Amino acid sequence: MSLIIRQPKLSLEEKERERLAKGESGILGKEGLKAGIEAGNINITSGEVFEIEEHISERQAEVLAEFERRKRARQINVSTDDSEVKACLRALGEPITLFGEGPAERRERLRNILSVVGTDALKKTKKDDEKSKKSKEEYQQTWYHEGPNSLKVARLWIANYSLPRAMKRLEEARLHKEIPETTRTSQMQELHKSLRSLNNFCSQIGDDRPISYCHFSPNSKMLATACWSGLCKLWSVPDCNLLHTLRGHNTNVGANCIHPNPLSPWPKDVNLASCAADGSVKLWSLDSDEPVADIEGHTVRVARVMWHPSGRFLGNFKNRDLQVGFSWAAMNQNQKRVYNKVRAKCICF
């Protein structure tokens, strides 16, 4: 019987450790290291290092992030309706279609966008759209609020003033409807002919600064102008002579309006109203160049003022808010404010 003894295999690393432990020198010893340095094959004179592991980690992170994005994109469900896909792209602020893009490519583009921004972005956009739509619907709904008793009295007075005149206008409209069509057509043609023949009658320089508004008196014999210089001027018609210069505003005058009834019981007290960019509203008389009254309560620009046809109420609005109606009592000439705040872009009675 033969006896076989096997020696365990040692790795090169273990052999090198044994050699170094015995203190042997060789090619890999100190002499070999010195020879390599002298030959220029080994450079250990500086401590410069290259962080390979960090760069590899960043690159790996980018690759992993891309794989995660693709994974999320595969899990996102996108509608097959092309119109809904376009609506989603529009909601995300993306172009609804690109050159040469079909429905399938459009769906894939939407899926890729959602994988980057997340599906919550689309939900948030839809929620904001629904909120704005709801607020718009609420804005268009009729709402009621409790106002002062003076507002009720003013509205009843305006209704009693307006309803008989509305009945008269309707009756005139019925009579006008009974006129033959040929007669109405000829009257319209005559009107157009006279309008085409209109020409400049006179001209006048109103102010050094731009003129923002002008308004004729009810008898068309006087014209009131509002200027950015803060002045209101009254001119005679048709010779355009300056009658009065009203000084009281310190900034741009937005509009003015002459009282509709010069034969009212108080013609010497209030003949004109004006408003300015600093929120001031002033009432003027033709007997004085200074305002007879100031309407307070406006902190921002007042854009327009307008008298009610009766001359009893003055309406004005600021920044789309029709806020104050100014009432003049015919007997004692005391002023009362009638508050009626609504949203408006202009004012007209």
Q: How high is the pLDDT of residue 75?
A: 75
CA angle 37, 40, 43 (to 5 degrees): 65
Q: How high is the pLDDT of residue 63?
A: 80
> Would you kindly state where each structural domain of the chain is located, as residue ranges?
61-124, 211-345
Q: Are 224 and 244 in contact (CB under 8 A)?
A: no
Q: How high is the pLDDT of residue 174?
A: 92
Q: How high is the pLDDT of residue 51?
A: 59
Q: How high is the pLDDT of residue 330?
A: 36
Q: How high is the pLDDT of residue 132?
A: 72
- The C-alpha atoms of residue 106 and residue 98 are separated, in whole angstroms, by 8
* Superfamily in which the 211-345 domain is placed by CATH: YVTN repeat-like/Quinoprotein amine dehydrogenase (2.130.10.10)
- The C-alpha atoms of residue 265 and residue 258 are separated, in whole angstroms, by 15
| 8-state DSSP, 203 | -
Beta strands per DSSP E along the chain: 211-216, 222-227, 231-236, 242-247, 253-258, 272-276, 281-284, 293-295, 304-307, 313-318, 321-328, 335-343
Q: How high is the pLDDT of residue 168?
A: 94
pTM comes to: 0.52
- The C-alpha atoms of residue 242 and residue 254 are separated, in whole angstroms, by 20
Cα 76 to Cα 66, 83, 118, 124, 254: the distances in Å are: 15, 18, 10, 17, 57
- The C-alpha atoms of residue 62 and residue 52 are separated, in whole angstroms, by 16
SS3 128: helix
Q: Which amino acid is at 264?
A: S
Q: Are 156 and 150 in contact (CB under 8 A)?
A: no
Per-residue pLDDT of the chain (349 residues; tens, 9 = 90+): 555 656 666 666 677 677 766 655 555 556 766 776 677 666 665 556 555 555 557 777 788 878 787 777 777 777 788 888 888 888 877 888 888 888 888 888 888 888 777 777 777 777 777 777 766 666 666 767 777 888 888 889 889 999 999 999 999 999 988 989 999 899 999 999 988 888 888 888 888 899 999 999 888 888 999 999 889 999 988 888 898 888 888 888 988 888 887 555 445 678 888 988 888 888 888 888 888 888 877 777 888 888 888 888 888 776 443 444 444 433 333 444 444 444 445 666 6
- The C-alpha atoms of residue 266 and residue 327 are separated, in whole angstroms, by 13
- The C-alpha atoms of residue 247 and residue 229 are separated, in whole angstroms, by 10
